Structure 1
Amino acid sequence: MEAAAAATTVFVYGTLKRGFPNHPRLAASGSPFAGAASTTSPLSLIIGPYSVPFLVPAPTPSAGRLVSGELFSASPSALADLDLFEGTHLGVYERRRITVVVDGTSSEVEAEAYFANASYAEDLWRRCGGEAAEIGEYTVEHAARYVPPSGRSPGVSGLMDAVRSFIATTPPES
């Protein structure tokens, strides 16, 4: 008999958190909640087109914040479903290993998190406003403005088209 494949701990920071728009997808995969957590090093969490959250490695030494999120234990099939949903095959997100600390403890855990693809991450960070646009937590207020895939431009590349268009435009004057 073959041993069951090990689950992967996944750190979610946006629409996949409990009570947020895309959590039912994660819940349906049978991925149990493993605790609240925060990153151990500063990262840049920004809000892009459609109020979609993007995690970016801090582009400058002064950039970034500790980011709050949740941990889930994903089976290999659940992780494959998440990769598909996050568009890793399309270059939307890429999954990277990070270290987080479980809230209320000093326990550090290795987890996988979805980052904006390196091909556009820093340009998106700049276009969103750089350090001034960084947040430490994606909140229900952010999620209230979230546009689900069904409400976006048609086609599998709808989010990437919106990101590219957003990056190409000049930001409004403050």
Structure 2
Amino acid sequence: MSETILVFVFGTLKKGFPLHRRGLARARFLGSYRTARKYPMLIAGPWFAPMMLDEPGHGLHVTGELYLVDSVILARLDRLEAVGRPGNLRRLIRITPERFGPSCDAFAYLKSRFLASPAHTGYLASYDDRRFVPPWRR
């Protein structure tokens, strides 16, 4: 990898979930992390997607996985996450390891609240729901 970028994922991009192979199969897994600040994360929308809202300081500390990616993988993730469309954002956030080690900044894919309708859950600290409908099944 030429340029290396840290990406924190908390939903369908995690290992064992529908978008992992398409987005992160060639990325390097660095460990389990959680958000340093609280964020509202819930299952929402017509496809039962996990959404972490761009509202730091509200909700819960969200757990997920940290990956080291290059610019090609980051561009693929941006397409999967619809970055550039209204309400679909990639932001740097602070994360901390679940066990040991220093905190760091990593990109995370956040949503604007208007995309979280209808809401199917309250706020969640971790994602393990299996109702997500991937794009190829819609």
Query: TM-score, normalized by length of structure 2?
Result: 0.88
Distance in 2 of aligned mates of 1:125 and 1:82: 20
Q: Which residue of 2 aligns with 1:170?
A: none
CA contact (8 A) 2:44 2:118 kept: no
Can you give the 5+ residue segments of structure 1 that lack an aligned partner in the other structure? 153-174
Q: Is the 8 A contact 2:23 2:80 kept in 1?
A: no
Is 1:38–1:101's contact at 8 Å kept on the other side of the alignment? yes
Query: How far is 1:81 from its partner?
Result: 0.8
Which of the pair is proportionally richer in helix? 1
**Displacement of 1:127:** 5.2
Q: Which of 119, 137, 141 is 2:126 aligned to? A: 137
Amino acid at match of 2:59: G
Are the structure 2 counterparts of residues 127 and 21 from structure 1 closer, same or farther at C-alpha, using a change threshold of 3 Å?
A: closer
| 2:78 maps to 1:86 | no
CA-based RMSD of the aligned residues comes to 2.1
TM-score normalised according to structure 1 size: 0.71
Larger Rg: 1
1:39 CA drift (Å): 0.3
**Is structure 2 residue 36 aligned with structure 1 residue 40?**
yes
Q: CA deviation at 1:21?
A: 1.1
Counting aligned pairs with the same residue, the percent is 31
**Using CA pairs below 8 Å that are at least 6 residues apart, which structure has the higher relative contact order?**
2
Larger proportion of strand: 2
Alignment of 1:16-95 (within 5 A): 16-28=13-25, 30-49=26-45, 50-58=47-55, 63-95=58-90
Do residues 11 (structure 1) and 8 (structure 2) align? yes
User: What amino acid does structure 2 have at the position aligned with 1:109?
Assistant: C
- CA drift of 1:43 comes to 0.3
What stretches of structure 1 move > 4 A for 4+ residues in a row? 124-127
Contact residue 86 and residue 92 of structure 1 kept, 8 A: no
Give, in whole Å, the separation in 1 of the partners of 2:17 and 2:114. 27
The number of residues matched between the two structures is 137
Q: Quote the offset at 1:48 in angstroms.
A: 1.0
Counterpart CA distance in 1 for 2:114 and 2:7 is 26
